[in-house]
Amino acid sequence: MNTEELAFVNRQLAGMLKSGIPLEAGLKKMTESMSSGRLKDQLGQLGTRLEKGQAVEQAVEGLDLPDTYKRLLALGQESQSMPKVLICVADYYERIGTLVTRIRGLAIYPMLILICGLLVAVLMAFLSSMLKNDIADLTDDIIGSGRSRASEFFGSSWISIFPMGVFAVGFLLYLIVLRSQKMRRFFSWKIPMLRDAALAQYAGLSEALLASGARLPEVIGMIRKLEAGSAMETDLALIEQNLAEGHAGYDSASRGCRTIPDFFNWIVAQAGEDITAGFGHARTIYTSRAESKMQAFLYCFLPVNILLVGLLLLVFFIPQFTVATDLLVMIESLGGAE
């Protein structure tokens, strides 16, 4: 779902609510001006249900909207501060949308390299298969079949097909990682910039929920459900348990975490009783960390990419070098015969 469009819609709805327009009427007016798509359809259904008199918590059930968004809307109705909640929602999804867009942009680079490498490998294999047999027949007729072992090895068909197979397998594995939610969650805690982005998202979501009126134990429990299956789930379960057992605040409740860094928990704890501000500070710091690591990745990616592509092109052209060698030998033989 387009997080930027969702953020825009909620910011407009907040302005309508401040002007005295009911939520259902605002949703109806907003969806009329939206381009067709899943978000328009789901928000339109939400507006229709609200017009029929359903409470927000009931109206959002079964809709294909983010669970976080559903809970925030319910909190807004419970606390009777829907405009404030909608602004928090808009801020959260705008920040998340920026991070997600940058991460998706970074994910495109390896995919482009794999696709271009695969195309080049297919082209070189095709040219090699077209030229190799014809040149081999000519050279065998003129200079005999005494080709060197190296020439026979590099002239074999598999040496041209092997790079194509490597790129095809690499592209397939990359698609599997991108499509699998479990794989994405696994690598999100193994790659530093993705780990910082995940922590920034955790801090931003906690800040938005707390600012909307939710209590800390409820916030941790909700995020734990959203993070089911990720490396952070165990730490969130520990924090939730410690809070339930009567720990005074986030500082003592977060001790013993293995995935969430101590530095992150320390930043949150520095705000004291204003836990919302603490998560806001953590969100700002870890967003900056993630962005700086993304920039460092881009700076390192270009020279490493050039080196790898150069090595791969060298491998691609080895079969063609053997064909050129056979041609030179054939020309020398023709000159000697004259």
DSSP string, 74-132: HHHHHHT-HHHHHHHHHHHHHHHHHHHHHHHHHHHHHHHHHHHHHHHHHHHHHHHHHHH
- Residue 239: its pLDDT value, please? 92
Q: Is residue 136 part of a domain?
A: no
Length of the chain measured in residues: 338
Task: Give one DSSP letter per residue of 252-281, joined into a string.
Answer: HHTTT-SSS-HHHHHHHHTTTT-HHHHHHH
Q: Is residue 152 part of a domain?
A: no
Question: What total number of domains does the chain contain?
Answer: 1
Nearest alpha carbon to residue 216 among 289, 286, 271: 271
- Residue 138: its pLDDT value, please? 53
pLDDT beneath 70: ranges in the chain:
1, 127-160, 181, 185, 301-302, 305-306, 309-310, 312-313, 315-338
- Residue 77: its pLDDT value, please? 79
d(CA 196, CA 294): 10
Q: Is residue 37 part of a domain?
A: yes
d(CA 332, CA 326): 10
With contact defined as beta carbons under 8 Å apart, do 285 and 202 qualify?
A: no
Q: Which residues span the domain enclosing 15? A: 3-65
The distance in angstroms from the start CA to the end CA of the chain is 74
Q: Is residue 54 part of a domain?
A: yes
- Residue 143: its pLDDT value, please? 45
Q: Is residue 336 part of a domain?
A: no
- Residue 154: its pLDDT value, please? 44
Burial class (CB in 10 A: 0-12, 13-18, 19+), 178: middle
- Residue 279: its pLDDT value, please? 92
d(CA 242, CA 258): 15
Q: Is residue 119 part of a domain?
A: no
Nearest alpha carbon to residue 204 among 90, 291, 57, 61: 90
Q: Is residue 51 part of a domain?
A: yes
SS3 183: helix
Encoding tokens for residue 240?
């939730």
Amino acid identity for residue 136 in this structure: A
Q: Is residue 12 part of a domain?
A: yes
